[in-house]
Amino acid sequence: MLDTTDRRDGSAYFLYHSIGQYDGKAQAMGRALSAFSMSWGRFDDGQWGYALGQRQRFIDFWRELIGAPAGTLTTAENVTTALASIIGALPDHTLRGKRVLIAADCFPSLHFLLSGLAELHGFTLDTVPLRKGAHWVSDDDVVARWGEDVGLALLTWVTSTASHRCDLDRLIAHGRKMGSMIGVDITQGIGLMAYDLGRFDADFTVSTSLKWLCGSPGAGILQLKPEWIARCAPRLRGWFSQEDIFSWDIDSFAYAGDIRRFDHGTPSILACAATVPSLEWHAAQDRAEMIAHNRTLCEAIIAGVDRLGLELASPREAERRGGSVMVRLPEVVDPEAVLEAFRRQAVHADRRDRILRLSPGAVTTMAGVERMLACLEAVEAA
């Protein structure tokens, strides 16, 4: 029999693939936004110093998180705008007449972008398909498709619909042999699993601060190797793209020597300020404990899925999986009915078509996992 207690403590919160939560998040974000508004509305001249200081704190937290050298990481609204900035800044010969390689289980927004840019930049978008019945694109298929004519390969570290974690060591090593530019979208893994640029030799990295980092929308990042920065001339440029942002000589524009050349007009700061508390919280956590907690709950979910006879849509092995467990719901089960039943029990998850996405994190408990599985069993049996 289902427990009908009204629980709003987050114990059955499974949305870390979307918007992550931690205890005290609302209060911490509220204080940060209140401090920003107090500064911005004060009758003095200190607004920009405070605002740009919050943006720099955001950048510094991110640099520390992924081991990015100084001058190689800046802010972006999201991964799509970050990728568009890079593509538009590359020398023409980088991609023209070549293939851009991406897997079919990438974040769709990036595929939408690349398919729209292909003709403009003269490249062929080559999408590695899923095999029949598969839930993720295999690394073997990516390697088999990746030849010397690939100008750029965009890798998805952890997929959003299967939580498949690709073997970045293997794929990047192969890409180096092919002479390709290599980018990595780390959005679905960062904050739970370690991504270190000292190990993963990517040419650029893009992400948001949502998911496991529990940040706000609009707080994305773009990180690029220094040698690529020097070759790039971003088409979207403005006063913040200059070495001296206060140079008003309209006939002598010159790009900044570092990643700031990818800045343009006045930067969006509010999302950075709203996210700094989450990055502070994350930096204070025991990373080993975070992932051990996630792994314990994921194994319990997988065991429950097996017991219910449902189809696991994620890799079973932890080393091949991100922090989520995806389940394919049977054709006889209405996915929306599952989510409605979840909500009545204060269980929070979502779906993509028939794929139920379950991502346990900092506030999720074993009792929450049991409540979710009991609810799922009741709906399946109805």
**Could you read off the pLDDT of 297-311 as tens digits, one per residue?**
999 999 999 999 999
342, two tokens: 């979840």
Q: pLDDT-derived band of residue 1, with 50, 70 and 90 as boundaries?
A: very low
Residue 349 domain-assigned (yes or no) = yes
> Pick from 285, 305, 323: which residue ends a domain?
285
139 and 170 in a single domain? The answer is: yes
Count of structural domains, the chain: 3
| pLDDT given for residue 331 in this prediction | 95
Q: What's 87's domain CATH number?
A: 3.40.640.10
104 and 199 in a single domain? The answer is: yes
> Pick from 285, 307, 323: which residue ends a domain?
285
Residue 18 domain-assigned (yes or no) = no
Q: What's 302's domain CATH number?
A: 3.90.1150.10
| pLDDT given for residue 7 in this prediction | 57
pLDDT at 5 over 60: no
pLDDT at 181 over 50: yes
pLDDT digits (tens, 9 = 90+) for 20-66: 999 999 999 999 999 999 999 999 999 999 999 999 999 999 999 99
**CA-angle at 177, arms to 175 and 183, nearest 5°:** 20
What's the domain range around 369? 286-381
219 and 32 Cβ atoms separated by less than 8 Å? no
Residue 310 domain-assigned (yes or no) = yes
108 and 188 in a single domain? The answer is: yes
173 and 106 in a single domain? The answer is: yes
Query: What's the average model confidence in pLDDT over 327-342?
Result: 96
Residue 6 domain-assigned (yes or no) = no
155 and 256 in a single domain? The answer is: no
Question: CA 78 to CA 219: how far, in whole Å?
Answer: 7
160 and 89 in a single domain? The answer is: yes
89 and 202 in a single domain? The answer is: yes
172 and 273 in a single domain? The answer is: no
371 and 277 in a single domain? The answer is: no
The predicted model scores a pTM of 0.96
Residue 282's φ and ψ, nearest 5 degrees, are -65, -40
Residue 7 domain-assigned (yes or no) = no
194 and 147 in a single domain? The answer is: yes
Question: CA 360 to CA 369: how far, in whole Å?
Answer: 8
84 and 164 in a single domain? The answer is: yes
84 and 202 in a single domain? The answer is: yes
> Pick from 264, 285, 306: which residue ends a domain?
285
For the chain, give the percent of residues with pLDDT over 70.
98
Residue 12 domain-assigned (yes or no) = no
Query: What's the average model confidence in pLDDT over 57-83?
Result: 98
Instruction: Give the three-class secondary structure for 66.
Output: helix
List of long-range contacts for 196-199, beta carbons under 8 Å, 24+ apart: 196/66, 196/67, 197/66, 197/67, 197/68, 197/69, 197/223, 198/67, 199/169
Residue 17 domain-assigned (yes or no) = no
Residue 130 domain-assigned (yes or no) = yes
pLDDT at 3 over 70: no
